[in-house]
C-alpha cells in the first residue's frame, strides 16, 4: 500500500503543485514546466489546443535545456539498438544493466503530462524508475532521453496477477488493460504483457502511461 508521503506527492502532481524536497531530473523538469504551464485535468480532449501548448513547452524546454545542462549530444549507436516501442526507441546501455529510451512523448498531449507520468511511475515503481538524462532533437522533433534498469523475464505475464496487484493499490480495471484510481485521480493505460515483466515471481512495470484527472 502507498505511504502518506507518496500519497501527498501524488495529490500535488494531480493539482499541478510544485514538488518540494530533493529533486531528481524527472521531478526538476516537471517542476520547471509547472512554473510556467498549468497541469491539464481534461484527458484526451481539445487536441488542437493541447498540440499548440505542447509546441510551446517544447520550445521552452529546449531553451532551458542548455541552462540546466539537459542536452544530450552522444546517443547510443545503432549496434546497441534493441527494439522500438510505441513511443520510444530502446537501446542497451553501455553498463549492460540499463536501457536507454529515446522518447517522443507521442502518447501525451503536452510535455507536462509526459513528465507527470514519469514522476508518478518513479513514485509507484521505484525498482524500474526512470532517470531523465536530457533532450535531443531529430527532424525538428524534441525527444527525451531516459535511462531505466534492464529487467530480464523468466516467466510469462499473467494479466490476472496484474489486475490483482493493481486492485490492491486502489486501481480499478475500467476496460481491457486500462485502470483508474478514483481516490488519487490517476488513469493508468495500456498495461498489457509487453509493458510488464515477471522475474522471480515478481511483477516489474517497465512502461506505464499515467494521466492525471480531477474534478
**Domain match, 139 and 80 both:** yes
pLDDT in the model for residue 46: 66
Residue 30 falls within a domain, yes or no? yes
pLDDT in the model for residue 164: 97
**Domain match, 49 and 72 both:** yes
Grid cell for residue 195: 509493458
**Domain match, 134 and 47 both:** yes
What is the DSSP track for 155-190? B---HHHHHHHHHHTTPEEEETTEEEETTTTEEEE-
Residue 61 falls within a domain, yes or no? yes
**Domain match, 39 and 90 both:** yes
CA-nearest of 109, 86, 99, 85 to 133 is: 99
What is the DSSP track for 76-111? PPGGGEEEE-SSEEEEE-TTSSEEEEEE--TT-SSH
Residue 22 falls within a domain, yes or no? yes
Q: Convert the pLDDT of each residue in 13-46 to its tens digit.
A: 999 999 988 789 999 999 999 999 987 766 666 6
Q: Please, is 178 exposed, middle or buried when counting C-beta atoms within 10 Å of its C-beta (0-12, 13-18, 19+)?
A: middle
**Domain match, 33 and 123 both:** yes
Residue 81 falls within a domain, yes or no? yes
Range of the domain at 176: 159-212
pLDDT in the model for residue 198: 98
**Domain match, 143 and 179 both:** no
Written as tens digits, the pLDDT of the chain (215 aa) is 688 899 999 999 999 999 988 789 999 999 999 999 987 766 666 666 788 999 999 999 999 998 889 999 989 999 999 998 878 999 999 999 999 999 999 999 999 999 999 999 999 999 999 999 999 999 999 999 999 999 999 999 999 999 999 999 999 999 999 999 999 999 999 999 999 999 999 999 999 999 998 75
Q: Which residue carries 549507436 as its cell? A: 77
H or E stretch covering 142: strand 141-149
Q: Please, is 159 exposed, middle or buried when counting C-beta atoms within 10 Å of its C-beta (0-12, 13-18, 19+)?
A: middle
Cβ-based neighbour number of residue 133 at 10 Å: 18
pLDDT in the model for residue 148: 98
Residue 154 falls within a domain, yes or no? no
Q: Convert the pLDDT of each residue in 158-170 to its tens digit.
A: 999 999 999 999 9
Within the chain, what is the greatest distance between any pair of CA atoms?
48
**Domain match, 14 and 84 both:** yes
Q: Which residues on adjacent β-strands are paired with residue 100?
A: 91, 147
Total count of domains within the chain: 2
pLDDT in the model for residue 66: 86
**Domain match, 138 and 86 both:** yes
Measured CA to CA, the distance from residue 203 to residue 196 in angstroms comes to 7
pLDDT in the model for residue 47: 62
**Domain match, 83 and 16 both:** yes
Residue 137 falls within a domain, yes or no? yes
Amino acid at each position: 500500500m502507498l505511504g502518506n508521503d507518496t500519497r501527498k506527492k501524488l495529490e500535488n502532481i494531480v493539482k499541478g503543485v510544485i514538488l518540494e524536497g530533493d529533486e531528481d531530473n524527472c521531478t526538476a523538469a516537471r517542476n520547471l514546466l509547472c512554473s510556467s504551464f498549468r497541469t491539464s485535468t481534461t484527458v484526451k480532449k481539445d487536441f488542437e489546443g493541447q498540440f499548440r501548448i505542447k509546441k510551446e513547452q517544447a520550445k521552452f524546454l529546449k531553451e532551458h535545456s542548455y541552462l540546466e545542462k539537459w542536452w544530450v549530444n552522444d546517443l547510443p549507436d545503432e549496434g546497441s539498438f534493441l527494439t522500438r516501442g510505441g513511443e520510444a526507441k530502446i537501446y542497451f546501455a553501455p553498463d549492460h544493466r540499463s536501457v536507454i529510451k529515446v522518447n517522443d512523448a507521442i502518447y501525451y498531449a503536452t510535455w507536462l503530462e509526459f513528465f507527470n507520468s514519469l514522476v508518478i511511475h518513479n513514485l509507484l515503481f521505484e525498482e524500474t524508475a526512470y532517470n531523465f538524462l536530457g533532450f535531443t532533437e531529430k527532424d525538428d522533433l524534441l525527444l527525451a532521453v531516459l535511462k531505466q534498469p534492464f529487467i530480464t523475464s523468466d516467466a510469462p505475464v499473467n494479466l490476472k496477477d496484474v489486475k490483482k496487484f493493481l486492485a490492491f493499490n486502489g486501481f480499478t480495471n475500467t476496460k481491457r488493460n486500462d485502470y483508474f484510481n478514483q481516490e488519487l485521480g490517476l488513469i493508468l493505460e495500456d498495461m498489457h504483457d509487453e509493458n510488464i515483466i515477471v522475474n522471480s515471481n515478481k511483477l516489474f512495470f517497465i512502461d506505464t502511461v499515467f494521466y492525471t484527472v480531477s474534478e
